[in-house]
Amino acid sequence: MAVLPLFIESVKCGFPSPADGHQEQLELEEYLIRNPNATFLLRASGESMVGIGIYDGDLLVVDRAESIVPGRIVVVRIYDEFTCKRLIRHNGVWWLKAANPAFKPYPMPEDSEIFGVVTRNIHDLLKV
C-alpha cells in the first residue's frame, strides 16, 4: 500500500490558511482499515443514505469485526441482497433507517444478517 504525505495542519473550508510545508507520513491502508482480515469494500447504490453523505457509486469500507451497536451504519444482507442503513433499536427490535426522508424505517427481517459496520465512505468528488 502507498504511503502518502499528510500535512500536519488541517485545511480550512473557509478562509485560506497556508500549510507551510509541515507534513508527516500517512499509510492510507492503516487509516482506512482497522481490521484487515475482516474488512471488505462494497460499492453504494441508490439514494437512501444521501442524508449522511453516502451517494450512488461511493465506495464503502465495511468491517465485520466492529461492534454492532445502535446508531452505526451497517450493511445488512436481506434475502441474498445487501442494503446499507443506520441501525436503530426500537421496542427491543432492530430497525433499519435510511438517511433520506423519502424512505421509511423498517424492522430487520428475522432471516437477515448484519454483515458488517461501515467505517469509511470514499466519495469521488470528480464525479459530482
Instruction: Give buried/exposed letters for 93-111 (b at 16+ CB in 10 A, else e).
Output: ebbbbbbeeebeeeebeee
How much is the pLDDT for 86?
A: 98
Of residues 48, 97, 112, 127, which has the active-site annotation?
A: 48
Domain ranges of the chain: 1-32, 35-127
Q: Please tell me the CATH superfamily of domain 35-127, with its number.
A: Umud Fragment, subunit A (2.10.109.10)
- Give catalytic status of residue 85 as yes or no: yes
Which listed residue (45, 85, 97, 104) is catalytic? 85
- Please report the pLDDT score of residue 128 as a whole number: 62
pLDDT band at residue 35 using 50, 70 and 90 as cut-offs: very high
69: DSSP letter: -
User: DSSP alpha helices (H): ranges in 9-63?
Assistant: 28-32
- pLDDT (0 to 100) of residue 7: 60
Return the higher-pLDDT residue of 25 and 37: 37
pLDDT (tens digit per residue) in 66-114:
999 999 999 999 998 999 999 999 999 999 999 999 999 999 999 999 9
Q: Is residue 67 annotated as part of the catalytic site, yes or no? A: no
* Alpha-carbon dihedral 84, 33, 52, 112, rounded to 10 degrees: 20
